[in-house]
Amino acid sequence: MSGVPELLVLRLLSGREMYGYEIVKAVRLVTGEAIGFGEGVIYPVLHGLEENGAVKAKRKSVNGRERVYYAVTAKGKRRLEHLSGEWQRVSTGVNSALGDLTKEPQNA
Amino acid sequence: MPSTQFESLRLELLRGGVAPVYVERTILELEEHYADLTSDALAAGHGAEDAAENARAALGSEHAIIAAVLSRPELLEWSTRWPTVALCLRSAATIGVLPGLPLVFCIEHRPELARWGAAVGVAAAVVGAILAGLNFMIALA
């Protein structure tokens, strides 16, 4: 499942800029809580994407709270397209394999 | 997770070679995240203790967060990512600096060195004069 956290984060950030807590809540919402993870691990993912130039971070003071908002960059959009393509390819392959497995008992 | 507990996380990340800028960012964002989790739990009617406990559980263990950060080489300091290069550069810098150190010392301590040189010169002249006198007296005897 390598690249899945990056894929989800980039997909969510392609809609609008968000801060970490918002991203975690959005991931839970869009995946129907199918993906479980400690929420604190979202930050290394975001920082890694920032270091690679896929997102940019901006500090904002909102209601006396210091928020770090993330927005996807042009490089991040290209990365999202690449990861989406990879995921579609893997997903199709796995679905195909699972389809073959379900047919197998009928052939035997 | 109360902020005092993030101190050990901060130290572990620094010890692991994570770039200080990302250590500070991680701590700041985790503190904010923890505050969001607790305030949402309180708003949902949980007690303060329950809210804190649920927030701690939701953030995940300190060990998991540390492992997640350390698994990303791009967040580590360059000297941790390329230790051989760092060692070579440090050695080269030390070799480059060492010959210059005595010169810097002399420039910084010019008055003391001048007094020391004068004292040594006077002492040498006095000793030389005594030895010459003794030599002269031996020649006469």
Report the range of poorest mean pLDDT among A13-27, A47-61, B1-15, B64-78: B1-15
Q: Which of B25, B32, B58 has the CB atom closest to A47's CB atom? A: B25
Q: How far apart are CA B113 and CA B105, in angstroms?
A: 10
Would you call A66 helix, strand, or coil by DSSP? strand
Query: Do B60 and A51 make contact, defined as CB atoms within 8 angstroms?
Result: no
What pLDDT sits at residue A98?
87
Beta partners for A66?
A: A61
State phi, psi for A62 to the nearest 5 degrees.
Answer: -120, 115
The residue in chain A having the minimum alpha-carbon distance to the alpha carbon of residue B73 is: A48
Q: Confirm or reject contact between B38 and chain A (CB < 8 A).
A: no
* Predicted pLDDT of residue B100: 83
Check whether A57 has a pLDDT greater than 80: yes
Q: How far is CA A107 from the centre of its chain?
A: 39
Contact A41 B32 (CB under 8 A): no
Bridge partners of A19? A69
Strands A18-19 and A55-62 come out as: unpaired
Query: Which residues in chain B have their CB less than 8 angstroms from residue A66's CB?
Result: 28, 32
| B77-107 pLDDT per residue, tens | 988 888 888 889 888 888 888 888 888 888 8
Q: What percent of chain B has pLDDT over 90?
A: 67
CA distance B25 to A55: 15
Partner residue facing A40 (CB), from B22, B25, B60: B60
Residue A72 and residue A70: Cα distance in Å, rounded? 7
CA-to-CA dists, residue A59 to A17, A64, A70, B80, B128, angstroms = 12, 12, 9, 28, 76
- Residue in chain A lying closest to B30 (CA): A40
Task: Give the phi and the psi of residue B41 in degrees, each rounded to 5.
Answer: -65, -40
Alpha-carbon gap, residue B36 to B38, rounded angstroms: 6
Query: Hey, is the C-beta of A47 within 8 angstroms of any chain B C-beta?
Result: yes
Is the pLDDT score of A105 beyond 70?
Answer: no
Condensed to tens digits (0 to 9), the pLDDT of residues B1-35 reads 545 678 999 999 999 999 999 999 999 999 999 99
Query: Average of pLDDT values for B31-58?
Result: 93
Put simply, whether A56 touches B (Cβ < 8 Å) is no
| Residue matched to tokens 């309180």 | B42
Confidence of residue A26 (pLDDT cuts 50, 70, 90): very high
Size of interface A-B (CB pairs under 8 A): 70
What is the DSSP code string of B17-68?
Answer: TB-HHHHHHHHHHHHHHHHHHHHHHHHTT--HHHHHHHHHHHH--HHHHHHH
Kindly state the percentage of chain A with pLDDT values over 70: 94
Model ipTM value: 0.83
Residue A108 has a pLDDT of 46
Average pLDDT, chain B: 90
pLDDT at residue A8 in the model? 94
By Cβ distance, the residue of A38, A47, A57 closest to B61 is: A38
Provide the pLDDT for residue B95: 86
The model's pTM is 0.73
The HSE-up count of residue A39 (CA atoms within 13 Å, CB side) is: 26
- Ordered by start, the domain boundaries in chain B are 3-95, 101-140
Percentage with pLDDT > 70 across chain B: 97
The Cα–Cα gap between A86 and B104 comes to: 60
**Higher pLDDT among residues A34 and B12, named by residue:** B12
Pick the residue of A21, A24, A68, A79 with the most B CBs within 10 A to test the interface with B by mutation.
A21
CATH number for A4-100: choose from 1.10.10.10, 3.40.50.970, 3.40.50.300, 2.10.25.10. Answer: 1.10.10.10
pLDDT digits (tens, 9 = 90+) for A79-101: 999 999 999 999 999 988 888 77
Q: Which residue has the tokens 């997102």?
A: A55
What pLDDT was estimated at residue A106?
Answer: 55
- A35 vs B34, which has greater pLDDT? B34
